[in-house]
Amino acid sequence: MAKKRILKGDSNFKRLVANNGYFVDKTLLVKEFFDNGDMVLLMPRPRRFGKTLNLSMVEHFFDINKKESAELFSEYKISAEKEFCEQHQNRYPVINISLKSIRAENWEGCIENIKTEISDLYIEHDYLLESKNLRESEKRKFEKIIDETAKDKDYYYSLKHLSRYLKNHFGQPVIILVDEYDTPIIDGYTKKYYSQIITFMQVFMGTAFKGNDNLKKGLITGILRIARESIFSEMNNVGVYTITSLFFSDKFGFTEQETKDALQCFDLSDKFKSVQQWYNGYQFGNTKHIYNPWSIVNYLSRHEEGFKPYWINTGTDSLIKERILNPGDTENYDTLQKLISGQTIEKVLDENFVFSDFDTDKELLWTLLTFSGYLTQTKNIGADSYELKIPNYEITKVFKDIVVKWLNINIKVKRELLVSATQHLVNNRIPEFEKGFKKIMGDTFSYFDTAGGNAENVYQAYVLGMLAIIGDDYIIKSNRESGEGRYDILLIPYDKNRYGIVIEIKQIKRDKKETDGNFYNKINGQISEALNQIERNKYYKELLTHKIKNIIKLPIVFAGKEPFVMQLPENKLETF
């Protein structure tokens, strides 16, 4: 048998399988979907996790017009379900429409794009124009939809009407598939035509999926469950199976075994550990070790170029970056730094996502991050509360790039200055690092409010953000147990010949009555105390366990916004 090929980006099941493309067998989704007790199923998953291909697979299995597709399933798991196949394979008319490309700057552009998509859908079924079971008035309306000259209300009801035409023609109820239903809703929210797109979707999907006597089953995919805007709130026949659900948990994304099989097929089994580090880490329901399929496919096709962050969630990127890069949300910035350093956070996931609440409820950001694939659940800690983390190195790198952009845009830190200062640090050129760091802090740190009892946390968050730029070469951790206590920041190099760095941060304030000499002594004293604390508590112990022999023990003492990392000479007082 000819070796399988990677056909990257092809989400058409027939074209993929017929052209000997590598296909990870998810065919049992067909039976699980059909046998499920809910008439309509909503399965939100991150973008590029196989939703479009799965819907194409479902379409080719059931579509009465695609009987030639039956042989495509012969080598896959569903073929063993012989009774099910005999009863249902290629027995129903199928409507399959994707809204993932419906984006526009305003409502006028959006509705025009929707009309074009619906026109294309009707063209796929233009054989109905010759049907004896359609009235002449229905055929005229059908032709106007194709020509994009129909009345607006005809597009609003177009799914319901097409299902009636198909049911009358074939004598069988219809399976309706809608892919990425929330893309135009998300775009409408960001581009300020939210109310218009919601009104359209209420009719377009509501009439198709509720009280439609022509409907056999429905399957809807997207990222979020958009709730309380009446799209689903009155559709009591919809079963929602999100990333936290125990059902269908292995049907999107690649399981660990599926990933190993793919690597073996392309003679890359020796790369599994690195693939695991880069693209593993998602958990859907109770299924752990889910791999990002888009990244795996890209790596398989371009493995000679090494490991890269291939995944970008274009659907919610703008919303996420807008909220994270908001200058007023330093709390989000601090939480993001915890995640980048490998820690977990505890958050409530609101599966009934309401965009009208997004501006006022800052906690919804973490729901959006999780359902979009930037974070993953690790443990349900009660009710709707979950322990969350960044799933893998690929997403960590995405977040680090966001942080560097945040520093550049909002705090005006030049990337060149960040690169220069951090390179001095990791190459043990501490005097040069101190000069660059002083320049960075002097130019920008007034942005932060360091008043109150959490000033050291603010300093630490800033330093972590600055260090994000070297994240490709170092594991960056903060506030972890090591030795006899907790270090502030630890840099563990991937290359064991490079310097490992342990950082202890201190903060001092100057008394108005304090002399320069006393303040100078206080700075030196805190530098000594920070070094002693590193040594006394063996904060570098974790570096030793990683077999790092060259270790930099770095105190950083902040006097206001000015940092000091080296003892001040007795004959030189700094000006404050």
Residue 55 and residue 179 in contact, taking contact as beta carbons nearer than 8 Å: yes
Residue 269 and residue 275 in contact, taking contact as beta carbons nearer than 8 Å: no
On whether both 221 and 89 belong to a single domain, the answer is yes
Give the count of beta carbons closer than 10 Å to the beta carbon of residue 562: 16
On whether both 430 and 516 belong to a single domain, the answer is yes
What tokens appear for 27 in the block? 């065919």
482 in a domain, yes or no? yes
Return the half-sphere exposure (C-beta side, CA atoms, 13 A cut-off) of residue 208.
33
What tokens appear for 520 in the block? 């100078």
CA 491 – CA 473 distance, rounded (Å) = 9
CA 158 – CA 544 distance, rounded (Å) = 66
Domains in the chain, number: 4
The DSSP secondary structure of 48-62, one letter per residue, reads TSSHHHHHHHHHHHH
Residue bearing tokens 């690649």: 254
Residue 474 and residue 426 in contact, taking contact as beta carbons nearer than 8 Å: yes
570 in a domain, yes or no? no
What tokens appear for 62 in the block? 């059931």
On whether both 479 and 558 belong to a single domain, the answer is yes
Q: What pLDDT score does 510 carry?
A: 72
On whether both 83 and 185 belong to a single domain, the answer is yes
Exposed, middle or buried, 334 (CB in 10 Å: 0-12/13-18/19+)? middle
On whether both 299 and 340 belong to a single domain, the answer is no
Residue 188 and residue 197 in contact, taking contact as beta carbons nearer than 8 Å: yes
Q: What pLDDT score does 330 carry?
A: 61
On whether both 222 and 298 belong to a single domain, the answer is no
Q: Per DSSP, what are the bridge partners of residue 508? A: 559
Residue bearing tokens 């042989």: 71
Of 240, 267, 290, the residue that ends a domain is 240
One pLDDT digit (tens) per residue for the chain, 576 residues: 568 899 988 999 999 999 999 999 999 999 999 999 999 999 999 989 999 999 999 999 999 999 999 999 999 999 999 999 999 999 999 999 999 999 999 999 999 999 999 999 999 999 999 999 999 999 999 999 999 999 999 999 999 999 999 999 999 999 999 999 999 998 898 899 999 999 999 999 999 999 999 999 999 999 888 765 557 666 667 899 999 999 999 999 999 999 999 999 999 999 999 999 999 999 999 999 999 999 999 999 999 999 988 887 555 566 776 677 665 566 676 687 778 877 899 999 988 777 777 777 888 889 989 999 999 999 989 888 999 999 998 998 888 777 666 666 655 566 777 788 889 999 999 999 999 888 877 765 544 444 444 555 566 666 766 777 776 788 877 765 555 555 678 889 989 999 999 999 888 887 777 777 788 888 899 999 999 999 998 888 999 999 999 999 999 888 877 888 887 665 444 443
What tokens appear for 486 in the block? 């907790």
116 in a domain, yes or no? yes
Phi, psi of 524 (to 5 degrees): -60, -35
Please give the C-alpha separations between residue 457 and each of 448, 452, 506, in angstroms, as whole numbers: 11, 11, 10
4 in a domain, yes or no? no
The closest of 230, 504, 277, 530 to 395, measured between CA atoms, is 277
Buried b (16+ CB within 10 A) or exposed e, 102-139: bbbeebeebbebbbebbbebbeebeebeebeebeeebe
574 in a domain, yes or no? no
Of 209, 240, 271, the residue that ends a domain is 240
Of 198, 215, 240, the residue that ends a domain is 240
On whether both 92 and 135 belong to a single domain, the answer is yes
Exposed, middle or buried, 323 (CB in 10 Å: 0-12/13-18/19+)? middle
CA 119 – CA 146 distance, rounded (Å) = 4
Rounded to two decimals, what is the model's pTM?
0.81
On whether both 296 and 383 belong to a single domain, the answer is no
CA 523 – CA 510 distance, rounded (Å) = 10
Q: What angle do CA 367, 105, 144 make, to 5 degrees?
A: 110
534 in a domain, yes or no? yes
Phi, psi of 177 (to 5 degrees): -120, 125
CA 184 – CA 445 distance, rounded (Å) = 39
The closest of 303, 250, 268 to 25, measured between CA atoms, is 250
Sheet of 500-508, strands arranged across = 474-478, 489-493, 500-508, 551-559, 562-564
CA 174 – CA 217 distance, rounded (Å) = 7
Residue type, 339: L
What tokens appear for 555 in the block? 């105190």
Residue 253 and residue 291 in contact, taking contact as beta carbons nearer than 8 Å: yes
Rounded to a whole number of angstroms, the CA Rg of the chain reads 29
CB contact set of 119 (below 8 Å; sequence gap of 6+): 145, 146, 147, 148
On whether both 278 and 358 belong to a single domain, the answer is no
7 in a domain, yes or no? no
On whether both 420 and 479 belong to a single domain, the answer is yes
Q: Summarize the chain as % helix, strand, coil (round to 5).
A: 50, 15, 35
Domain coverage including residue 273: 256-305
424 in a domain, yes or no? yes
On whether both 296 and 324 belong to a single domain, the answer is no
On whether both 367 and 323 belong to a single domain, the answer is yes
The DSSP secondary structure of 113-135, one letter per residue, reads HHHHHHHHHHHHTGGGGG-TTS-
Buried b (16+ CB within 10 A) or exposed e, 257-287: ebbbebbeebeeeebeeebbebbbbbbbbeb
